[in-house]
Amino acid sequence: MVATRTVILGVSCDYHDAAAAVVVDGVVVAAVEEERCSRVKHDARLPVGAVEACLELAGVGADQVDHVAFYEKPLTVLARYLASRQRSGPRGARSFRHDVPTLISTNLMVGYRLRRLLRDLGAGRPPVVEYVEHHRSHAAAAFFPSPFDSAAVLTMDGIGEWSTATVARAHRNRIEVLEEMRYPHSLGLLYSFVTAWCGFEPNDGEYKLMGLAPYGTPRFRDALDALARPTGAGGLQVDARRLRWFDPSALQDPGLAELLGGPPRTADAPFGEREADLAASAQALAEDVMLGAARRAFELTDESSLCMAGGVALNCVANGRILREGPFDDLWVQPAAGDGGSAVGAALSLWHEGLDRHRPLRSDRSGPDAMSGGYLGPAASAADVASALDEAGLTGTAAVDEDALLTTVAQRLADGEVVGWFQGRAEFGPRALGNRSILADPRDPTLRTRLNVRVKGRESFRPFAPAVMAEHAGEWFELDHASPYMLVVAPVRAEHLLPVAHEPDDVLARSAVPRSTVPACTHVDGSARVQTVTAESNPRFYALLARFYELTGCPMLVNTSFNLAGEPIVQTPAQAVRTAREGGMDLLVLGDTLVEGDDLQRGADDAHEVVA
């Protein structure tokens, strides 16, 4: 008898962060965000490239896909949209006319579009698309890959169909959604609103707001509470008459401007104390609500572990507080907690709940999860590397062996150089976890500004994260749990903090003040967004950290995503070469091949000459 495999394709798209995932017999074998293929950040379009890449990674043809799971219920989304328009009254007519045809032609037609895509990829009879509720997709993405056999599940994001947050109890292959918070009461939308008020792009700039928060004081907290009152149990009562979600004119509301210390900041205006204080206030509110929601989840489920997903779960500062102050012993956050990860969740929900398939017993809570360290994207072969270098007119140097490669790179990092690190399969989710990373020495006090401004071209106040050898994490940070996906913020231990003699008033000046012996990855409040690395999860990256530790006594490196400002993380060697060249990196490591920064720049000059 020939065993047949069940292939499920999970897809999310049409709002933001489109993605695809392939689950074969319950195992997540591939997951790719569309932005990595299309090179359009937060690309929401039908994930044509991602589906193609996932099928190739899984080694299955389009005609072998047995089920297609979509991450939300489009009809309910449309109904909610229609109902929500009334808040704007006649003012909403224009946006209504603009949005509804799009919603109808994209959201409602998603089943047809997906089947046509599979047909274009060679499927003779694509399966009928099945729809998993938005927050169930999040919950499934949070629980099924987790290392827990049962857990409480908390999902929070801007909005799904009607839900904006859910609390669920999960056990084996079942998730029971117990309570939900419904539109318009939404922490995610509130956070995005303040993001927009501070002059950042919603659905993209929330990280910046989180990074800006420690620079300010929460003096607008009462104002925000008046707009959205936390109930204390994780609930949020939004004053929908004043906060009109999806109504662009809400940003021109003079009443809100009076409440929030002035009109919204424009994107090109300088940062001021007001923005920092607004960020601090929003962050404080978010942390309180999330902590309250965690407590509510504990109260309802009586579980000792918590799984989280949804865009709000990417708030690693709040996650850290939940871990430290919350009632749960363990916390696992889906690395692609946003809508991209819902592609995985939808597929897993269909497998376990829809098809009622067994989920292996998790006996070891601290064991590995089912996300394969987040390395679910495409890899590049040696031939791909050689081809990319050839196209760029570069000749890299092949390392003699692994040991020589690691020694060289570690030494160069210790010398203060910035290294582009491109290895193995690409990460799935917003974080670079050591395979598509820019690495640097965290001890260098000038590194943050240098990396932010020169290499990545982003705001200089934004902190960098450390990737630390898991066994040394506790020595440097107040962290007693693994944080393999960089989704928990922990304070740097007191013994590594440096005294600050004078605190500058200016936000940007404050960011340049060293706070610890690893200043490049220590935020202004003495915290760090930690990634713990083990030899099992990423052997080569761990070995590099170990080699750096041997050389310097510092078991960590700055690990930031391999991209430039406004671009997605690189996926292919060619993209890595271009990014390294434009970012002015000192060394690029593509698998076993090293490319010197000087060569990169020379190649760029040659290219310019050719063009000239």
* Dist CA 258 CA 256 (whole Å): 5
**Tokens encoding 134:** 């938005």
Task: State which residue, 30 or 156, has the beta carbon closest to another protein.
Answer: 156
Q: At what angle do helices 597-611 and 573-583 cross, to 10 degrees?
A: 90
Task: State which residue, 84 or 452, has the beta carbon closest to another protein.
Answer: 84
523: annotated active-site residue: no
Distances (CA, A) of 351 to 240, 312, 361: 38, 26, 16
Catalytic residue among 16, 42, 185, 481: 16
Task: State which residue, 75 or 400, has the beta carbon closest to another protein.
Answer: 75
* Dist CA 345 CA 8 (whole Å): 11
Residue bearing tokens 């906060």? 243
Q: Provide the minimum distance between the beta carbon of 97 and another protein in the complex, in angstroms, as a whole number.
A: 5
Angle at 154 between CA 332 and CA 372, to 5 degrees: 30
Binding site for another protein (CB under 8 A): 69, 73-76, 79-80, 82-90, 92-93, 96-97, 100-101, 108, 111, 124-125, 130-133, 136, 161-162, 166-168, 175-185, 230-231, 233-237, 240, 296, 349-350, 353-354
Task: State which residue, 244 or 578, has the beta carbon closest to another protein.
Answer: 244
Quick check: 173 and 353 in contact, CB under 8 A? yes
Quick check: 99 and 81 in contact, CB under 8 A? yes
Q: Provide the minimum distance between the beta carbon of 159 and another protein in the complex, in angstroms, as a whole number.
A: 11
Task: State which residue, 168 or 595, has the beta carbon closest to another protein.
Answer: 168
Quick check: 206 and 195 in contact, CB under 8 A? yes
Distances (CA, A) of 543 to 104, 257, 556, 569: 51, 52, 11, 23
Angle at 187 between CA 182 and CA 193, to 5 degrees: 115
Q: Provide the minimum distance between the beta carbon of 241 and another protein in the complex, in angstroms, as a whole number.
A: 8
Cα dihedral sign for 106, 111, 116, 117? positive
* Dist CA 36 CA 237 (whole Å): 37
Q: Provide the minimum distance between the beta carbon of 466 and another protein in the complex, in angstroms, as a whole number.
A: 36
* Dist CA 75 CA 161 (whole Å): 9
Q: Provide the minimum distance between the beta carbon of 293 and another protein in the complex, in angstroms, as a whole number.
A: 9
Task: State which residue, 247 or 427, has the beta carbon closest to another protein.
Answer: 247
**Tokens encoding 278:** 């607004």
Quick check: 237 and 184 in contact, CB under 8 A? no
Active-site residues, by number, are: 16
